[in-house]
Structure 1
Amino acid sequence: MKKIMLILVLLFQYGLNAQVVIGDNVASNQNILKIKDGTRGVILPYSNIYTSFPKYDAASTDLFSDYPNLVGGLIYNKADDQYYKYDGYAWNPARQIQGIFQPKGSRLGISSGITIPCLAFGLGICLSLGSPQYLAPDDKSQVLVDNLLLKNASSVTIKQNGMYDVAAALGFTGGSVGAQIGVTEFKLTLQVKYTPASAWETVVTKSNYSIIFIIDTQGSKTSSFSQTISLPAGAELRVVPTITTIGGSGGSLAAYGTDSSSINSYIGARLIKTY
C-alpha cells in the first residue's frame, strides 16, 4: 500500500511540473505550454466589437467592471485590428500610448476646466479663458495614473530627459443659438515651455468641426492628437483650446466649456527612451 501511495505521489508531482508541448517533441522546464509550428498559428479569443468583451458594462466610467481574476487576459478586436489586455479594471488596446500598468507612462485627467463664450457675426469671436488643468487625482477605474510623476502643484512637468509619445484629448460641451449658417472650428494646441524662463511654443494643433444651422447642438465635440517629441527635464506641457465660428449670415451667441470626463479629456505621455 505504501509503495502504491509513493508511486501516486510521484506521478502527481510529475503531472504538476510537466509541460504541454504542441508541434514539437522537445520539452523545456522554462514554461508550461510550448507551441512550435512554422506553418500554422494559434487563434486566441476574438470579438467583432468591444461591447462583446467580457465584463463589458455600459454604465461603468471605463465601460468595464473590475475583475482581478481576469488580469492578463487577451482578446482580439476585429473592429480595430488589435489585441486588448485586461488589467483588472478595463481592457486596454495594445497600441495605446498609456495604460495603468505602463511603468513609463502617465494618463492625466482634468481637475478644472474653462468656459469659452462666443459672439459671432460672420466671423465669430471666442474668448478662451485660460487652459484646462490636467491635474485630476489618479483613479484606476478611469484609467488615470501618473507613473512618470508629471503632476506638480499647478503644472504638468517632465521629470526626465528623453523622447516621449504625447497624446491629448479635450471634449467641448455647449452650443450656440442664433440666425447663422456655417461651421464652428474646435482647435486643440499642445504647447511646451522648455525652461522656466522661455515662452510657450506650439508643437502640434488639431481641429474638429461642427456644422451650424440656426442652433449648434451636435453634442460634445472632441479634438485629439498624438505626437512624438524630445523633451528636457523641467519642460512644462499645456493644452490650449480655441474656438472659431465662420457663418454665412446673421449672428449667434454661444457658450462652450470643457468636458471633465476622462473618456473625452486627458493628456498622456509615454517615455520611449532616455538621453
Structure 2
Amino acid sequence: MKRILIMLVMFFQYSAYGQVVIGSDVSSVKNILKIQDGTRGVILPYANTYTSFPKYNAAATDIFDDYPNLVGGLIYNKSDDQYYKYDGFSWNPSRQIQGIFQPKISRLGISAGITIPCISFGIGFCFAGGTPGYLAADNKSQVLVDNLTLKNASTVTIKVAGIYDIGVALGFTGGSLGFQAGITEFKLTLQVKYTSASDWETVVSKTNYSVVFVIDTQGNKTSSFAQTISLPVGAELRVVPEISSNAISGGALAAYGTDTNSINSYIAARLIKSY
C-alpha cells in the first residue's frame, strides 16, 4: 500500500510539471502546451454574434459584465470576421483604434453637455453656444481611458507631437413641437487650436439630417467620423455641434441637446507615429 502511494505521488508530481505536446515528439520546459503542425490549424471558440459571448448583458453600459477570471479570453466572431479579447470589463475587437490597455490611445467622454434651442416662424433658427466638454472621469467599464494624458483642467491638449487618428462621435437629443415641414441639419465639426495664440481651425465636419413634418420626434441622432491629422505639442482639440433648419412653420419651438452617454458621445485619439 505504501509503495502504491509513493507511485501515485510521483505520478501526480510528474503530471503537474509535465508539458502537453501535439504534432511533435519534442517537449519544452518553456511551454505548458505546444502545438506543432504545418498542415492543420487550431480552431478556437467562436460565436455567430457578440450577443452570445460570455458575460453579455444588454443592460450593462458596455453590454458586458465585469469578470476578472476571464481576462485574456479569445472568441472569434463570425458576423464581423475578427477575434475579440476579454480585458476584464468587456470584449474588444482586434480591429479597433480604441482599447483600455492600448498605451497610445485616449477615449474621452462628455463631462458637460450643451443645450441648443430653436425657434421656427416662417424659417427655423437655432442658437448654439459653447461646446461640450470631453473631460469625463476615466471609466474602464465604459471604455473611457486617457492613456495619452490629453485631459488638462479644462482643455483637451496634445502632449506628444505626431500623426494621430482622431475619432469623434456626438449624440443629439430632443425634438421640436409644433407645425413645420422641412429638414433639420445636425452638424458636427472637429476644430484644432495649433498654438495658444492661434485661432480655432476647422479640420472636418459631418452632417446628419432629420426630415421634419408637423412634429420632429427623431431628435436622437448621432454624427461621427474619423480623421488622420498631424498635431504639434500643445495643440488643443474641441468639437463644435450645430443645428440648423430650413423648416417652414407658422410657429414652432424645439429644444435639442448633446447626449452625455459615452456610447454615443466621445472623442478618441490614437498616436500612430510620434516625431
Alignment partners' CA distance in 2, 1:32 and 1:163: 41
Deviation at residue 34 of structure 1 after TM alignment: 2.7
Give the distance between the partners of 2:13 and 2:202, measured in 1 at CA. Answer: 63
Cα 1:59/1:16, change in 2 over 3 Å: same
Deviation of the 1:200 alpha carbon: 1.1
Structure 1 Cα separation of the partners of residues 161 and 206 of structure 2: 26
Aligned to 1:75: 75
User: Which stretch shifts more, 216-225 or 62-71?
Assistant: 216-225
Q: 1-side partners of 2:121 and 2:75: how far apart? A: 51
Which consecutive unaligned segments of at least 5 residues does structure 2 have? none
Match of 1:15 in 2: 15
AA matched with 1:162 = G
TM-score normalised by length of structure 2: 0.90
Partner of 1:37: 37
RMSD: 2.2
Give the structure 1 partner of residue 107 of structure 2.
107
1:146-225 matches, cutoff 5 A: 146-225=146-225
Q: Return the alpha-carbon distance in structure 2 between the equivalents of residues 120 and 168 of structure 1.
A: 29
Residues 119 and 252 in structure 1, CA contact (< 8 A), matched pair in contact too: yes
Write the distance in 2 (CA, Å) between the matches of 1:219 and 1:41.
49
Contact in 1 for aligned 2:132/2:240 (Cα 8 Å): yes
Task: Tell me, in whole angstroms, the C-alpha distance in 2 between the residues paired with 1:190 and 1:263.
Answer: 18
Can you list the C-alpha shifts for 1:4-24, whole angstroms capped at 9, x where unaligned? 767655544443343323334
Deviation at 1:246, TM superposition (A): 2.6
* Residues 207/38 of structure 1: CA separation in 2 closer, same or farther (3 Å cut): farther
When residues 8 and 225 of structure 1 are mapped into structure 2, their CA distance, relative to the original with a 3 A threshold, is same
**Cα distance in 1 for residues equivalent to 2:239 and 2:155:** 11
Q: Distance in 2 between matches of 1:58 and 1:89?
A: 14
1:123 and 1:244 in contact (8 A); partners too: no
Closer/same/farther in 2, CA of residues 262 and 183 from structure 1, 3 Å limit: same
**Cα distance in 1, alignment partners of residues 31 and 123 from structure 2:** 66
1:150 and 1:232 map into 2 onto residues whose CA distance is 13
Q: CA deviation at 1:165?
A: 1.5
Who is 2:241 aligned against?
241
**Secondary structure in 2 matching 1:215:** coil
Inter-CA distance 108–37: structure 2 relative to 1 (3 Å threshold)? same
Aligned twin of 1:132: 132
The one-letter code matched in structure 1 to 2:69 is: N
1:115 Cα deviation after fit: 0.6
Does 181-190 or 165-174 show the bigger shift?
181-190
Q: Tell me the amino acid that sits aligned with residue 124 of structure 1.
A: G
- TM-score, with normalisation over the residues of structure 1? 0.90
Corresponding position of 2:257: 257
Structure 1 gap ranges (5+): none
Deviations 1:243-269 (A, max 9, x none): 122336655321100111111111111
Amino acid at match of 2:165: D
How many residue pairs get matched? 275
Aligned to 1:97: 97
Percent of matched pairs sharing the same residue? 74
Quote the offset at 1:121 in angstroms.
4.8
Note the C-alpha offset of 1:120: 3.2
3-state SS of paired residue (1:29): coil
Tell me how far apart the structure 2 counterparts of residues 110 and 133 of structure 1 sit (CA, whole Å).
6
Residue number in structure 2 paired with 1:271:
271
